[in-house]
Amino acid sequence: MTVEELSIEDVVIDLNEVDFSDIEDKYRVDADSGIEEYVVVDGAPIAPESKVPMLKKVLTKLFTNVKARLTSGEDVDAFHMPIENGKTTGYMFVQFATEKDAELAIKSLNGKKLDAKHRLFLNKLSDVEKYGAEGAVNDEAPTPKVPEFKETDYLKSWLQDESVRDQFMINFGESLVVNWQKHKNIEPAMERLDFNTGFSTFSPKGSYMLTLHPQGIQSWGGSQFENIRKFYHPEVRLLDFSPDEKYMVSLSPEPIKLPPADHPARASFPFGPEDEGHKLIIWELSTGIPVRSFALPPNLEQNKKIEWPLIKWSHDGQYFARKGPDALAVYESSSMALLEKKLIKIEGLQEFEFAPAGVKLAANKKDEVSSVIAYWTPETSNQTARVTLMELPSKKILRTSNLFQVSDCRFHWQDEGKYLCVKVDRHTKSKKTIFSNLEFFNLEEKEIPVEKIELKEAVINFAWEPKTDRFVTISRLDQGPINLAIPKNIINFYAPETDNKKGKKNATSAINLKKYKNFKSIENKHSTNLNWSPKGRFLAAAAIASSNSKIEFFDMDYDGNTVLASDEKLKNENVKASLKQIGDADHFGLTNLEWDPSGRYLAAWSSSWRHKIENGFKIYDFAGHPLVVEGIDNFKQFAWRPRPATLLTGGDRKKVRKMLREYSAQFDEQDAMEASEATKELILNRRRLLEEWSNYRASVERKLQQLNIKIDVSEEVEDIIIEEIKEEIIEEKTEIIE
Amino acid sequence: MRPILLKGHERSLTQVKFNKEGDLILSVGKDTVASIWYSFNGERLGTLKGHSGTIWTIDVSEDSKLAITGSADFSAKLWNVETGECLFTWSLETPVRRVEFNPYKDEILMAIDAVMGFNGRILVFKLNKDNLSEQSTEPILDIPTRKDFVKAMIVGYSYGGKYIVAGHQDGVISKYDAENGKFMASEKIHEKQITDIQFSEDRTYFITSSKDKTACLVDTDSFKVLKTYETDAPMNSATITPVKDFVVLGGGQEARDVTTTSAKQGKFEARFFHKVFQDEIGRVAGHFGPLNYVAMHPNGSGYASGGEDGFIRLHYFEKHYFDFKYDVELTANSSLA
């Protein structure tokens, strides 16, 4: 049979055998499409037919309130309510304008309580079809895969260092380095070169090191700084931690965006649909699980500069709070839910601050401590400005204090939570100049007495000395525009007045009101920053961002025989302090300062994030002697590794103090040995270098001889000094002497 | 150590040199006039006038009779030092970056810049000493920049006039046979531009300075880096001290950034390093712009630095400079003796 002979009639086709699946695929009608804007509403009240228009009206209002548009047009009824026996059935089909409106309605109204008996349930019609059918959803929950336990190195290993050294991290160029520090000796503990990280930090107790990357955060730990967890948070910018190191808070300008439902990335994606669009995330630091996320309040979305941290934690990490417009949201960390499921309404709430330690209120039983929160509200037409102290979780108001003509308030808690200083910036009636009041709340006394210091100047910085009741302020007279070139700042030192009438306790002393006394003021300073050593006693006052950056070191207890004449006066002033400036250091380009956890060393650095001048870091001892000076190009950041709280009891520490002389002799001996070792090594090294050099020179000279090249370097030329005396007649004058 | 301030240039200095005996200082700068000074008291002996652009470089012959200058006006000139008379002018297609007399032969070495489509080249001219005003304009050696190199701006002769050593703009040093111009070796020793090469007295090793803030001591034969000196500012010049085992580095923050910062952070200081131990042992401040060139007095009694600020500062060392020695140096000497 040839091709021409073949005609179509001859071919018999069995239609059953033809594969049409490709065509069927192409023209298949998707049953789901077209019903996306339908929502099944359940739980509505069952009403007689006559009341249907009323019900529709109520529901329409509900939907318009959340801005979900119903389908509209003439003769179009958005509601399809089946009616049985003259009554509605409680469920209905509602048609929205678009799929988006349907989603919006579900999101905002699903679970909405209409009244005591009725609660609305909204579901997409397509979802009902999809999941409602028998067998559409697997009845058996698949066991989630538990990732295999990976053992990490001991996270506190750095505390076991034999010579009890501290660690610090430096971040420069494309490198991240962690060093050991002992006095002048720096030894690397970890080096990551070509490591692209933004901001990096240690967790509050030092167990983890966290680095920021474009995709998220990584945590590192153990003696080798292994990678422990990754926290997926694209474009993350800011980090914060709960004080117990359990939680980490991160903020990114990028909202969380879920991959599509069927995308393979979805399975390993740490966030659920409830996190969509959120920017603020709380993580459990040890597991890397996001435990809660928040959207940024709309009033902050526009802000270019975000005040950070947005979430503040109570001293034990049990509660955390966020500030909202006219409300404070306090959450319980254990459940990540609102305390008593309610916001605390506070009209005009400006700022709040948790006490940094448990407060032993006078009403508390022995050793019982409370979480205390302080906040302030501004003046309104019929109310004064007010500072309030509240106990948590009882929400009991402990104390309020009324203030007038307030422009701003700052809270300064003493580190043990014993005292709170509220720095109140007040304005004169003309609102032209600012001056400050300091209000002191003594938390441990009955009724919480308040003492007030009224000043003529504006206080620009305030710092409690850790573990004491002394403090230092920097103030300046507010006289219009600031000329940075003229040093106008005043450093003021305060201490409570000691009772000079010993034994004569009068009746009022039942309320132990502390009288703070300004026992020393140093005027005409550029200083702007106050940094107390974490153990107290030593203070570094620094002038930053002025043409002559300088750090001054003060000792608050400079006792001893060498009290200078000028300080003599202080002794008579009934304060427990003997102040002396023990050092100062010019530090060009200074941008940041940080004391090491032991309070013996101060690190100061110039970060290229601020400017490109003299980038690098220096480590000073507490008296301002520079020990380490490193200029590093593109130096970004320095951070001491924090230490957890000491485990020694009060008794142990007393013992150490008693034995200090012996211990220090031992340490001195060790130091001397190390120093002599180092010198020895240096000398040996130099000797080696010198020998290498002379060998090299000898070989070169031999070679030159072989090549027969004469180098007449030592050809001495006799200096001939020719002195020329030139006479020049400047002026000739003839004077006739009579 | 009180410096003698040589004020005569109206613009930044580019090169400062002592003659062989050290009694004269020759200096050139961005103004078009070269100056010759008495090193004893800093008095100006005279000027060499003739160029119409920045003079990048100057050298003086072994007998101090002839000087040669290279300028951005696309020419090099031969001068009579005694009279200040211009004897001959070479016209070239690009600016002249470095000139040097061959200390062993009657030859002149030049490095010419790469601009306007021309490649940088290293040229060697014969010096006709019989009739100074008639020089050949045909180079006896013409070494074009190799394809894989960036232009060379600095050149010099090694010991015995054996090699020509060049410093390139990308931090590479290269070496050529001085007889036939054949390429012999290259090594990348700096991250950034090499700004200066100065030889030791016997020309067996040399020091390079670079914008990458370091200086390197390099052996001429092996091209190995013997020592590296690290600083915190871009370096423009480096020299090796006779008598003492030191090196002197000069530089400072880039001239174009200076206006935005103060003199203090510009690091406009001459830095003294121990040649062998690589420790910094001292600094001499005074310039208020970067140091563009440092030169040692041939007998090691002092040094001169030319700055972007237009001044030459001439220092003579005091006794303690010569007395200073590391303990190991003292013991090593005593054990040798």
Percent of chain A with pLDDT over 70: 90
B329·A690 Cβ contact <8 A? yes
Min Cα separation B305/chain A (Å): 23
B264·A588 Cβ contact <8 A? yes
Q: How confident is the model at residue A504 (pLDDT cuts 50, 70, 90)?
A: very low
Interface confidence (ipTM) of the complex: 0.82
Identify the pLDDT of residue B268.
87
Flag whether pLDDT at A541 surpasses 50: yes
B160·A717 Cβ contact <8 A? no
Q: pLDDT tens digit string along A37-93?
A: 888 888 888 888 888 888 888 888 888 888 878 877 666 677 888 888 888 888 888
Of B159, B221, B265, the CB nearest to A588: B265
B277·A686 Cβ contact <8 A? yes
Lowest average pLDDT, out of A222-226, A588-592, A685-689, B333-337, goes to: B333-337
Q: Could you tell me the fold of the domain covering A38-132?
A: Alpha-Beta Plaits (3.30.70)
Report phi then psi at A449, rounded to 5: -65, 150
Query: How far is Cα B263 from Cα B286, in angstroms, rounded to an integer?
Result: 10
Q: Is B148 in CB contact (< 8 Å) with chain A? A: no
Q: Which residue of B has its CA nearest to A693?
A: B276
| Edge-first strand listing for the sheet containing B141-144 | B96-101, B107-112, B121-126, B141-144
| Structural contact between residues A490 and A523, judged by C-beta atoms closer than 8 angstroms | yes
Which position has the token pair 């130099």? Answer: A686
Min Cα separation A616/chain B (Å): 11
Report phi then psi at B82, rounded to 5: -65, -40
Residue ranges in A193-309 assigned as alpha helix (H): 265-268, 298-301
Residues of B in contact with A691 (CB under 8 A): 332
| 3-state SS, one letter per residue, for A401-424 | EEECCEEEEEEEECCCCCEEEEEE
Query: How far is Cα B288 from Cα A458, in angstroms, rounded to an integer?
Result: 40
CATH number at residue B72: 2.130.10.10
Identify the pLDDT of residue B160.
80
Report phi then psi at B124, rounded to 5: -125, 125
Q: How confident is the model at residue A560 (pLDDT cuts 50, 70, 90)?
A: very low
**DSSP class of A148:** P
Query: How far is Cα A558 from Cα A138, in angstroms, rounded to an integer?
Result: 76
B201·A713 Cβ contact <8 A? yes
Looking at per-residue pLDDT, the higher value among B229 and A704 belongs to: B229
Lowest average pLDDT, out of A33-37, A350-354, B280-284, goes to: A33-37
Beta pairing class for B107-112 and B96-101: antiparallel
Q: By C-alpha distance, which of B241, B233, B242 is closest to B214?
A: B233
Helix%, strand%, coil% for chain B, nearest 5: 10, 50, 45
Flag whether pLDDT at A349 surpasses 70: yes
Q: Is B134 in CB contact (< 8 Å) with chain A? A: no
List b or e across A327-340, with b for residues whose CB sees 16 or more CB atoms inside 10 angstroms. Answer: ebbbbebeeeeebe
Of A613, A686, A703, the CB nearest to B328: A686
Residues of A in contact with B159 (CB under 8 A): 704, 709, 711
Query: How far is Cα A69 from Cα A100, in angstroms, rounded to an integer?
Result: 9
Identify the pLDDT of residue A16.
74
Q: pLDDT tens digit string along A561-571?
A: 333 434 444 55
Across A68-156, the runs of DSSP E, i.e. the strands, are: 79-80, 83-84, 87-88, 92-95, 121-124
Q: Please, which residues have CB within 8 angstroms of residue A687's CB and are 6 or more apart in sequence? A: B328, B332
Measure Cα distances from A378 to A311, A323, A425 in Å: 21, 15, 12
Q: Is A20 in CB contact (< 8 Å) with chain B? A: no
The whole domain housing B58 covers: 4-336
Mean pLDDT of A534-553: 85
Q: pLDDT tens digit string along A456-497?
A: 889 999 999 998 889 999 998 887 777 777 888 899 999 887
Cβ contacts below 8 Å, chain A against chain B, sum to 50
Flag whether pLDDT at A559 surpasses 80: no
Flag whether pLDDT at B28 surpasses 90: yes
Q: What is the separation, in whole angstroms, between the first and last Cα of chain A?
A: 160
Of A613, A689, A709, the CB nearest to B276: A689
B202·A713 Cβ contact <8 A? yes
Lowest average pLDDT, out of A1-5, A209-213, A301-305, A391-395, goes to: A1-5
List b or e across A676-691, with b for residues whose CB sees 16 or more CB atoms inside 10 angstroms. Answer: eeeeeeeeeebbebbe
- CA dihedral B19→B21→B22→B25, nearest 10 degrees, is -30
B226·A683 Cβ contact <8 A? no
Lowest average pLDDT, out of A30-44, A575-589, B154-168, B196-210, goes to: A30-44
Please provide the average confidence, as pLDDT, over all residues in chain A.
Answer: 84
**DSSP class of A317:** S
List b or e across B185-222, with b for residues whose CB sees 16 or more CB atoms inside 10 angstroms. Answer: ebbebbeebbbbbbbbbbbbbbbbbbbbbbbbbbebbe
Min Cα separation B118/chain A (Å): 36
- What the block records as the tokens of A51 is 């009341």
Identify the pLDDT of residue A568.
45
Q: Please, which residues have CB within 8 angstroms of residue A359's CB and are 6 or more apart in sequence? A: A369, A370, A371, A372, A417, A418, A443, A444
Lowest average pLDDT, out of A247-251, A283-287, A498-502, B233-237, goes to: A498-502
Number of residues that this document lists for chain B: 337
Of B159, B204, B332, the CB nearest to A690: B332
Which position has the token pair 């010569």? Answer: B322
Q: By C-alpha distance, which of B169, B170, B162 is closest to B206?
A: B162
Query: How far is Cα A339 from Cα A320, in angstroms, rounded to an integer?
Result: 10
B201·A696 Cβ contact <8 A? no
Q: Is A713 in CB contact (< 8 Å) with chain B? A: yes
Mean pLDDT of A274-297: 89
Residues of A in contact with B276 (CB under 8 A): 689-690, 693
Residue ranges in A66-197 assigned as alpha helix (H): 99-109, 125-132
Q: Which residue of A has its CA nearest to B23?
A: A719
Mean pLDDT of B307-315: 91
Q: Which residue of A has its CA nearest to B333?
A: A690
Q: Is B201 in CB contact (< 8 Å) with chain A? A: yes
Report phi then psi at B257, rounded to 5: -95, -10
Flag whether pLDDT at A572 surpasses 70: no
A690·B328 Cβ contact <8 A? yes
Which position has the token pair 């001048």? Answer: A613
Query: How far is Cα A76 from Cα A88, in angstroms, rounded to an integer?
Result: 19
Q: Please, which residues have CB within 8 angstroms of residue A165's CB and are 6 or more apart in sequence? A: A180, A181, A182
| Structural contact between residues A371 and A354, judged by C-beta atoms closer than 8 angstroms | yes
- In 3-state terms, what secondary structure has residue A711? coil
Identify the pLDDT of residue B56.
93
Identify the pLDDT of residue B210.
93
| Structural contact between residues A371 and A355, judged by C-beta atoms closer than 8 angstroms | yes
| Domain boundaries defined on chain A | 38-132
> What sign has the CA pseudo-torsion A277, A283, A288, A291?
negative
Query: How far is Cα A644 from Cα A204, in angstroms, rounded to an integer?
Result: 8
B226·A696 Cβ contact <8 A? yes
Distance from the Cα of residue B115 to its chain's centroid? 22
Min Cα separation A638/chain B (Å): 19
B327·A683 Cβ contact <8 A? yes
- In 3-state terms, what secondary structure has residue B44? strand
Q: By C-alpha distance, which of A649, A627, A500 is closest to A576?
A: A500
Query: How far is Cα A165 from Cα A155, in angstroms, rounded to an integer?
Result: 16
Min Cα separation A531/chain B (Å): 26
Residues of B in contact with A588 (CB under 8 A): 264-265
Evaluate the omega torsion of the peptide bond into residue A309 and state whether it is cis, within 30 degrees of 0.
yes
Question: Total structural domains in chain B?
Answer: 1
To test the contact with chain A by mutation, choose from B39, B102, B232 the residue with the greatest count of A C-beta atoms within 10 A, namely: B232
Query: How far is Cα A296 from Cα A322, in angstroms, rounded to an integer?
Result: 11
